[in-house]
Each structure stands twice: as C-alpha cells, then as structure tokens.
Chains A and B, each alone.
Chain A
Amino acid sequence: MSSEKSSPSVISGAGVSPGHTPGGAPAAETVRRGGQSRGLLASELGVLFRRRRTWAMLCALAAIPILIAVAVRVSSAVPPGRGPAFLDRITQNGLFVGVTAMLVSVPLFLPLTVGVVAGDTVAGEAGQGTLRYLLVAPAGRVRLLLVKYAGAVAFAVAAPLVVALVGAAIGAALFPVGPVTLLSGDSIGASEAMLRLLLIAAYLAVSLMGLSAIGLFMSTLTDVPVGAMASTVVLAVVSQVLDALPQLEWLHPWLFSHYWLDFADLLRQPVAWDSFLTNSLLQGGYVAVFGALAYGRFITKDVLS
C-alpha cells in the first residue's frame, strides 16, 4: 500500500511502471491473500449456514423457547420457586421466555450443537476426503485452521442469539410485555430489557468460545467427525459434572463450564460485570491453549485424505 502512495504517477502508470514492480508485487500478494482468506471465510460460513444440519440444530434450539412458552401458556399459573428460575415470571412478562430458554439450554443443548459444529470443522473435511484439496490451494494450514475456528465461533454466536430472539418473539406473542423486574427487585423498561437479553446471548457466546476451541483441537486429532463431536460434547458434560463435586472445589474456577450459569449477574441492578470479565479471561485461556494444541497437531499432521 505504501508503495502506491509514494508515487503520484500511480494513476497513470498503474502496474506498468517497472519501478513499482518490486514493491508492488508483495503488496498485491497480501491483498490477494487477504482477499483469499476473506473469500475462504465467506465460503466457510456459506457452507456452514447452508447445511441442512446447521438449520436443523438452530430450529431445534428455537423450539426450546417455543415449547416453554406454549407449555406455560396452556398450563395454569406456575407457583413461584418451582421449576427453572424465571419460569414463574413468564406469565407477567413474555421477555422472560428468552431468559428461561437460555437457562434451560445452557447445560446440554448449546454445548451439544456447538460441539457438533466445532467437532466437524477439520475432521468433517478429512472424513469427506476434501481436506487435501483445501490444502492444495495456497491458503496455508494456519489460515484454514483460523477460518474453520471462525466458522465454529459464528455458530456459537448464532445459537444463543436464536434462542434469545425466538424466545422474546414468542413471549411477546403469547404474553404481555412490559417493564421487567430484575433480580434486585428494580424494574427496567422493555427496550433496556431487550438489551440485557442480547447481553446474555453475548455472554453465552463468549462462554462457548472455549468449547469451540476444544472441539477444533479434537477435530484435528481424527478423520472421523462423529468421534470429535462426541468427545467434545462428552468433555462439556464431564466439566459440568466435575463442577458439581464439592470435593474438587480447587478445580472449579478452572473448568470452562464454571461460569456458564453466572449470566444471571447481567440481570442485577447495577450489572455485576465481574463474572463477564472472569469468564472472558477463562475462555480466552482455553482458546489460547487449545488453539496452540490444534496448531501443533494440524501443522504436523500428515494429510492423507
């Protein structure tokens, strides 16, 4: 880029001037490669979100708030303190459908779907025999790994967002929407409540980053996508089981699932940001560790399929 700015005659003699060739070639190369990885990312996202499986999983996630809303609608009033938290608030305010649905989907449904997508990233291509064609293109393994992780992250962002938005929509359709009572007893308007709902979706997306990185690493280990998916999901469950054992209290702050349910801190007044920060740090650590492991494995891997 700098070489183009250095000469005012760029417009007239664009690539023709021989003086520009040595500096211009690497610049053009970066532009081309940058455009290429953007193209790679676009095609990765396109493939991911055109897959019928992705849509099936998103639809299944969307069914959770719908089921909750319909069940609450047709049944009599839920007594306070029964069932999942916030369930009794739904009849007063439809926006709580989104919160309840996210709470319900955190332990299993979200890790399950994210595990499937993240576990499929590399192993899926290897299993289909397309991985080596991807590597024939001069994209490079690191770039391919980054693009694959970006795809998994995109799904991890989309999944809680779908639950939140569908929840808010079905809640607004079936129940009154008004000022929302926070955990602290203070009330906020519906628009601010919508913001909190999106914040919770963002919190969950961040929470799933670590699991996505684990899934990516698992995916580089095998050519069988189902194996990578299953082990990722199993790890998510194991982490939550360990988190429930009081004997392992020293381990708890290091488990990637430890802060998953602390998104309720966003429903306090004033918002308690501590858990958001701690969670982001922890997930960042997991992304760094398992990203490095996936790099080590994928760079040294003999790609035969």
Chain B
Amino acid sequence: MTRRWLRWMPAVAVPAVIAAGVLSGSLPASAGDPLPEKTPQQVLLMIAQHGEKSLSGTLEQSSEIGLPELPKTGPGAGSAETAWLELLTGPHTARVYLDGPGKARVQIMDRMAERNAVRNGDELWFYNSKDNTAAHAQLPADAAGRHEARPGAVATPEDLADKLLAKLDASTEVTVGPDVQVAGRAAYNLVLTPASEVTLVDSVAIAVDGASGLPLGVEVKARGQAEPAFSVAFTALTLETPDSAIFNFTPPPGATVKEIPLPAHHEKAAVPPSDPAAAKTAKRPTVTGTGWESVLEFPAGTAALPGQIPPQTEVQDPAAANPLQPDSSVAAGTSSGAAALLEQAAVAVPGGRLVSTSLVNVLILDDGRILAGSVPLERLQAAATQR
C-alpha cells in the first residue's frame, strides 16, 4: 500500500516544485549592492543629466482609471475614433527603439495587429496593420533636433518624467523611496506626493535607473485605490544602439498611404494636423486654481467635439493625444463609438454631465463648457460658477 502511495509522489512533487519556483521568482530580488543614498535633488539631476539616447526595450502600460474597457472584438473594435480611448482603458505592450534624437520607432503590439510610429531623421511614418494604412509626414528641417517632435503613443517614461518634473513646485513633496527593480535593473524610486488634500492623485512614483539616470517607469496612484491608476514601465531594456535597419520604413505594397501636411509653424503642430478647421475653432482653455488643484476650462463650442474631451492633465496628455491615429479627426467623433462610449460613461449631475475616473473628473456643462481637473466634482462645480 505504501508503494502505491509512493507512485503518486511525482504528482505531488511536481506542482510543489513549480509553485516554489514561481514564488521564489516573484520575490523581489534583493541580491546585489543597494544603491548609494541620494537626495531627491540628486536623483532629479541624474534624470536631467542622463545621456542615454540609444536604447531598445519593451514597455508595458496599464490603466485602471475606472473607464469601461472597450471591446477587443466585434464591430467598432479598434476603429480610429475609439483608438485614443482604447489606449486609456486597457493594458498595452510596446517595443521602443531609440537611436539618438533623430531616430525612433514605437511598436504597439496589439493582438494580431500592430501600430507603428517610425521616425528617421525628418521622415515620420505611421502604420496600422489592422486596416493596412500608412501615413507619412515630412518634418520641417529645423525640427530634426527637437525633442518634442519625437513620436510616441504609449508615452516613454522619459517623456512622462520630464513633463512631471517641469511641474514641480511648492505644491509637491518629493522623496526618494526604497530602491525598486525595473526591467532587472536597480532603480531609485522618486515619489511625488501632492501637498494638496483635494486632488484625486495620491502619489506619482518615478523609477530612475541607478546606473544611468534613465527614467524606467512611472506609476500614478489615485486616492482610495490600491492598484496604480496608471503605470508605464520597461519590462526589458538594453542600452545599446539598435540595428539601424529598424528605422528604415517603406510603406508595404497595397497599403493606403496618406500624406499629412505639417505646418511649418511649431505652435500649430500641437493640434491634430489632419483637421485644420479644428485648429481655427478651438479656443484656448483657461486655467483656474494652482498646482494639483488646477481646473481646465474649455469654452463653449468645443463641446460638440467629443474628441477634445479626453482628460487633459499633465499625466495623461501624451496618451490622449495619440499621433498613431492621424485620421481620428475630432469632428468625426460625433457619430462614432467614442461619443457613444462617452454617453455611457457620463452620469447626469446638477448642471451637466460628469465623466468620472479615478484620476480625473470631467464636467460637461449644459451650456457647452467643459471643465476638467484632477479634483472632486464639487471643485469643478465651484469653478464653473465662478464666472
């Protein structure tokens, strides 16, 4: 009888071994020397001074901001109008290749599809394999060295960190937390905690590579939510120059190629270039409040363009303005899935409708004005009645 039980030993031992292996693998690797102590200023300086301009890596981005996840299949899935919303609601994996300031490639790996943004010098290409469309833009010659012109739909950690640090002022407490491991590298964890009690943002953590100073990941936490509301981080990273063939892109035969005329003036490059009409009608938003409590107010007239409703905060700006969908003209949104989804996500509140996420509240007033901010609804309503 004991022999009989011995025969079942492998069936017990194998799962136990696998479980042990998984558990030991998921424990934080504490091996190796801890990074030397640094003050927040020194870490900030590391970011500012890092010279890593060539890398290839894999980024993972995930959002838990409380918006309903878009269907991945079925009619309307992956349509151009909902693409920017899709970037906000689900997890994404992207491969990033950089070689100096002039060469970049971002590949957003969808299931059975891929979206590409390639920059090689002043040539800019977008390619979407789902409908086999490509778009081409010729950057103005003087933009070749400009940092801002780099494409990126899933924002690289570098972009996000730069934007956040530019916003730093007395409103924020900056500390360096315990070291973290990102993409197998020891990293400083720079934690920004808003001093304000009002804002929805609980903390923003930036992982900074201990060796090179390259930002490796950004994690935004919302109040009252254990999971990070938004995170983007490298899962694999090498700081070597990628194969230069990666940056050569020619549109595949059979693809629909669209030429995007880029205005020479830099100011206008910020608005969707495919819709010059929107550029004229869009009025500049006004800002009330300071720091984390800022409320953006879009004047009436922009309300008919649901494409402009995406929460416009410093955190989500790069994800919302999605350059991979150059044809997602804002005007088309009225009849699109985006508008329908917005209707679904919005709840009626006194004076208008509210689109609420864990990081941002957007109040669409009945008179057409739109207020957005990382603050509770009452603050938005107060800002609305101020004028």
Query: Interface on A for B, CB 8 Å cutoff?
Result: 80-81, 85-86, 88-89, 92, 103, 178-179, 181, 183-187, 246, 261-262, 264-265, 268-270, 272, 274, 285, 288-289, 291-293, 295-296, 299-300
Interface residues of B in 4-41 (CB under 8 A from A): 4, 7-11, 13-15, 18
B127 at the interface (CB under 8 A from A): yes
Q: Which residues of chain B come closer than 8 Å to A92, judged between CB atoms?
A: 253-254
Q: Which residues of chain B come closer than 8 Å to A269, judged between CB atoms?
A: 246
Q: C-beta contact mask, B244-266 vs A, less than 8 Å → 1, else 0?
A: 00100111111100000000000
Sample of 15 A–B contacts (CB below 8 Å) = A85-B113, A86-B112, A89-B132, A92-B254, A181-B129, A181-B254, A185-B129, A187-B250, A262-B111, A268-B114, A272-B109, A289-B18, A292-B13, A295-B11, A296-B9
Q: Which residues of chain B come closer than 8 Å to A270, judged between CB atoms?
A: 243, 246
If A81-B130, A300-B4, A300-B8 touch, does A185 touch B116 (CB 8 Å cutoff)? yes
Q: Do residues A185 and B251 form an inter-chain contact, with CB atoms below 8 A?
A: yes
Q: Do residues A185 and B8 form an inter-chain contact, with CB atoms below 8 A?
A: no
If A296-B7, A296-B10 touch, does A184 touch B131 (CB 8 Å cutoff)? no
Q: Which residues of chain B come closer than 8 Å to A268, judged between CB atoms?
A: 107, 109, 114
Interface residues of B in 95-125 (CB under 8 A from A): 95, 107, 109, 111-114, 116, 125
B220 at the interface (CB under 8 A from A): no
If A80-B131, A184-B127, A292-B13 touch, does A264 touch B252 (CB 8 Å cutoff)? no
Q: Which residues of chain A come closer than 8 Å to B78, judged between CB atoms?
A: 81
If A181-B252, A184-B129, A185-B252 touch, does A288 touch B107 (CB 8 Å cutoff)? no
Chain B interface size, as a band, is 35 or more
Distance of A244 Cα from B77 Cα, bound (Å): 16
Q: Do residues B249 and A285 form an inter-chain contact, with CB atoms below 8 A?
A: no
Q: Do residues B251 and A288 form an inter-chain contact, with CB atoms below 8 A?
A: no
9 tightest Cβ-Cβ pairs between the two chains A and B: A181-B252, A185-B127, A292-B10, A85-B112, A296-B8, A183-B114, A296-B11, A292-B14, A292-B11
B172 at the interface (CB under 8 A from A): no
Q: Which residues of chain A come closer than 8 Å to B8, judged between CB atoms?
A: 296, 300
Q: Which residues of chain A come closer than 8 Å to B158, judged between CB atoms?
A: none
B235 to chain A, nearest CB (A): 9
Q: Which residues of chain A come closer than 8 Å to B127, judged between CB atoms?
A: 184-185
Contact of B111 among A89, A264, A285, A300 (CB under 8 A): A264
Distance of A21 Cα from B252 Cα, bound (Å): 71
Distance of A289 Cα from B15 Cα, bound (Å): 6
Q: Do residues A295 and B7 form an inter-chain contact, with CB atoms below 8 A?
A: yes
Q: Which residues of chain B come closer than 8 Å to A262, judged between CB atoms?
A: 111
Known: A181-B132, A185-B127, A186-B252. 14 other contacts (CB 8 A): A80-B130, A85-B112, A178-B253, A184-B114, A185-B125, A246-B69, A264-B112, A268-B114, A270-B246, A285-B18, A288-B14, A288-B18, A289-B11, A295-B10
Distance of A94 Cα from B295 Cα, bound (Å): 55
Distance of A181 Cα from B114 Cα, bound (Å): 12
B134 at the interface (CB under 8 A from A): yes
Q: Do residues A186 and B249 form an inter-chain contact, with CB atoms below 8 A?
A: yes
B224 to chain A, nearest CB (A): 21
Q: Which residues of chain A come closer than 8 Å to B114, judged between CB atoms?
A: 183-185, 268
Distance of A3 Cα from B329 Cα, bound (Å): 81
Q: Do residues A185 and B134 form an inter-chain contact, with CB atoms below 8 A?
A: yes
A89 to chain B, nearest CB (A): 8
B336 at the interface (CB under 8 A from A): no
A209 to chain B, nearest CB (A): 15
B357 at the interface (CB under 8 A from A): no
Distance of A270 Cα from B8 Cα, bound (Å): 45
Q: Do residues B112 and A103 form an inter-chain contact, with CB atoms below 8 A?
A: yes
If A80-B131, A292-B13 touch, does A261 touch B111 (CB 8 Å cutoff)? yes
A264 to chain B, nearest CB (A): 5
A223 to chain B, nearest CB (A): 20
B313 at the interface (CB under 8 A from A): no
Q: Which residues of chain B come closer than 8 Å to A292, judged between CB atoms?
A: 10-11, 13-14
Closest A-chain residue to B125, C-beta based? A185
Q: Do residues A187 and B113 form an inter-chain contact, with CB atoms below 8 A?
A: no
B58 at the interface (CB under 8 A from A): yes
Q: Do residues B252 and A289 form an inter-chain contact, with CB atoms below 8 A?
A: no
Q: Which residues of chain B come closer than 8 Å to A183, judged between CB atoms?
A: 112-114, 129
Q: Do residues A184 and B18 form an inter-chain contact, with CB atoms below 8 A?
A: no
Q: Which residues of chain A come closer than 8 Å to B107, judged between CB atoms?
A: 184, 268
Q: Do residues A300 and B7 form an inter-chain contact, with CB atoms below 8 A?
A: yes
Distance of A27 Cα from B135 Cα, bound (Å): 70
Q: Do residues B10 and A187 form an inter-chain contact, with CB atoms below 8 A?
A: no
Distance of A88 Cα from B132 Cα, bound (Å): 9
Q: Do residues B253 and A179 form an inter-chain contact, with CB atoms below 8 A?
A: yes
Q: Which residues of chain A come closer than 8 Å to B130, judged between CB atoms?
A: 80-81
B112 to chain A, nearest CB (A): 4
Q: Which residues of chain B come closer than 8 Å to A186, judged between CB atoms?
A: 249, 252
Distance of A265 Cα from B375 Cα, bound (Å): 41
Q: Which residues of chain A come closer than 8 Å to B125, judged between CB atoms?
A: 185
With most chain A CB atoms within 10 A of its CB, the pick from B7, B129, B130 is: B129
Q: Which residues of chain A come closer than 8 Å to B250, judged between CB atoms?
A: 187
